[in-house]
Structure 1
């Protein structure tokens, strides 16, 4: 039963790519791409249905209406506060300007009395507002320094001075505000500073309209900038995703190409090193032959051959003698440890005989001399 309205809402938004674009436009603050919506169609339908009940900031329609009412009420209260605050600051600026003028020029007594009366009235009004805080908080507040409102009101100037000040106040305030407006006009359009008074007043009457136009233009540019920022973020994300895909494709192509040419490259390197090694071996052989030719003559080679033959014969004779001795030694080992003792005794006696023969020989040679 509930599928009917949802399908109606979805069909009212659009289909296919148009639906995706409208969903993305309805939720600009969400970090989504058209690919995400394509891969998740049910989620896309949910967002399309949800777009009928919320705005781009995520607020529901009822909450949006309440928020607009609260903002209107706040704007009204703000306008009242700004009006009173601007009037109060304007009066304070008038007093400050008067104080500055007193130090640079002589001020008429009536004008001096006007500003002194106005300053006292402002101070008393400010003190009364500070003492009577219950009007804003709704609670009884303790008195400051033990003072009450009646005691502070006794510090008001004379009634005739207050009445005289009230009569002159609109005119003086108008002069001050007009001066500020002219200063603002000169700041906004410096080329109008040397214009006549009447022309300035005419242009001053249109200044608020121009300021409203400039404000609307600035807001429009700010909104355009915000939309361009969102679009730029989305395009940047899309660009980065496409760039990553391109890099991955390029890496795969490079890897495949490298694997294909690596075998041919290794084979060519192997052939090169084999040829180089063979060349080095041939060069070594040639150098060895050249050294032999420079070192050995024909006579020395024939003599070396004869020496080699003689040494080989002696080597064979020694090997035959070694074999016979090994056979004798093996036969002696069969006799055991008793023969080993006799052999050691025989070796000792043989050494003594040799020593005595050597001593006898030396003694005989000495006697002959």
Structure 2
């Protein structure tokens, strides 16, 4: 706990607004205002000290470095998996398209076993990967269907067929990718389906840049939409507060300055206005409650509750220590000034309990 009197902290904060701006910039998720920091100088100084050890999201600097390193490793692992998975799916698509063409034509072409060899190799590789025991599987556990990876590898095509398939695979894969890219270009620019292949290839080379620009524009519009939503929420809250003040003023005028003549008519009018004001107030309260429900999410409430519980536990421990010291002080008062050090320790504990009680009340508000 900071051992700083209110006057000293207030003077250090009051020298300028730089400390307030530093705290508000370091904790953007807390929704602090300059008025809150001025009213709570000790809390402001604690936040200023804490901002030197954590980032804007609340993580410590070493933990942020570890998180960034883990994210980079995860991205590398994910990139490797995506490459292998993309290649596997492309090969599956090639095989499926070939099977579809065979059904349409009535049979496979004579002397062409490229796709059958490719399909058999993929099937064997998939089976081997499924049969490969992981680290969590013990050696005593029997293999699936009593098969081993070596037995499945025996089902591979002949080496000559595999070699011919590997020599032809890059060309076929390139054709398939080119066909998919042209399909993507036709979807993005349907007017250019009848253009020449060279012109479509030039457009295809520019497609990544166009898609990146389109993605940037979408992200920019999404960010503007979020900013507009926040602005609308703030304006709605301000409008509701102003409307509530107007309704309260109207209620005051109706209740405090009503006329003294025409008692019956005025009484009925007053009752009508009171009911109307009550309905308006209830609507405003409902809107304010909806705004508060949108503002204070479950995560924020849980964080506030956890802070309150922690401060309550600290306060309870300090009170127990206070009672213990009071009982000891009462038992040693008969010795006079010989135990003046104990009295000073007691005064220090009382001041700490007062400071923590104030912090608990502020967090409760």
User: TM-score, length-normalised on structure 2?
Assistant: 0.61
1:265 to 258, 262, 266: 262
Farther off after superposition, 153-162 or 60-69: 60-69
Q: Kindly state the Cα deviation for residue 265 of structure 1 after the two structures are TM-superposed.
A: 3.2
Q: Which residue in 1 is equivalent to 2:175?
A: 175
Gaps of 5+ in 1: 270-369
State how 1:190-229 maps to structure 2 within 5 Å.
190-229=190-229
* Cα 1:248–1:101 shift into 2, 3 Å: same
Distance 1:268 1:156, change over 3 A: closer
Q: Give the 3 Å change call, closer, same or farther, for CA 41–243 of structure 1 in structure 2.
A: farther
Between the aligned partners of 2:224 and 2:16, the Cα distance in structure 1 is: 27
Residue 98 of structure 1: CA displacement? 0.6
CA distance in 1 between partners of 2:3 and 2:111 (Å): 81
1:34: Cα distance to partner?
5.8
- Do residues 128 (structure 1) and 125 (structure 2) align? no
Match of 2:93 in 1: 93
Deviation at residue 236 of structure 1 after TM alignment: 3.4
Please state how far the C-alpha of 1:119 moved relative to its aligned partner. Answer: 0.5
CA distance change for structure 1 residues 164 and 102 in 2, over 3 Å: closer, same or farther? same
User: Which deviations, in whole Å up to 9, do the C-alpha atoms of 1:136-162 show, x marking residues without a partner?
Assistant: 658545300111111101111111111
* Cα 1:71–1:195 shift into 2, 3 Å: same
C-alpha separation in 2, matches of 1:15 and 1:168: 74
Structure 2 CA distance for partners of 1:237 and 1:51, relative to 1, 3 Å = farther
Aligned residue for 1:248, secondary structure, equals: helix
Cα shift at 1:132: 0.8
The Cα offsets for residues 221-245 of structure 1, whole Å up to 9 and x where unpaired, read as 3334334434443443344334333
In structure 2, stretches of 5+ residues that fail to align are: 267-365
Counterparts of 2:246 and 2:169 in 1: how far apart (Å)?
76
Partner of 2:79: 79
Q: Distance in 1 between matches of 2:39 and 2:195?
A: 67
Residue aligned with 1:214, SS: helix
Counterpart of 2:188 in structure 1 is 188
Deviation per CA, 1:271-290: give whole Å up to 9, x if none: xxxxxxxxxxxxxxxxxxxx
Question: For residue 246 of structure 2, what is the aligned residue in structure 1?
Answer: 246
Q: What residue in structure 2 maps to residue 54 of structure 1?
A: 54
After the TM superposition, which residues 1-369 of structure 1 pair with which residues of structure 2 at under 5 Å, given as runs?
Answer: 15-16=16-17, 26-30=26-30, 36-37=36-37, 39-105=39-105, 107-111=108-112, 113-134=113-134, 137=136, 140=139, 142-258=142-258, 261=259, 263-266=260-263
1:23 and 1:254 mapped to 2: Cα distance?
A: 45
CA contact (8 A) 1:26 1:51 kept: yes
| TM-score (norm. length: structure 1) | 0.60
Conserved 8 A contact 1:33-1:234: no
Cα distance in 2 for partners of 1:201, 1:169 equals 22
Q: Is the 8 A contact 1:28 1:230 kept in 2?
A: no
CA RMSD, Structure 1 to Structure 2 (Å): 3.3
User: By how many angstroms is 1:184 displaced?
Assistant: 1.0
Instruction: Indicate the residue corresponding to 2:310 in structure 1.
Output: none
| Partner Cα distance (2:24, 2:81) in 1 | 41
User: How many residues are aligned here?
Assistant: 256
Quick check: 1:186–1:193 contact (8 Å CA) kept in 2?
Answer: yes
C-alpha deviations, 1:155-191, integer Å up to 9, x for none?
Answer: 1111111111111111001111111111111112222
Cα separation, 2, equivalents of 1:47 and 1:160: 72
Cα 1:255/1:227, change in 2 over 3 Å: same
Distance 2:157 2:243 in 1: 79
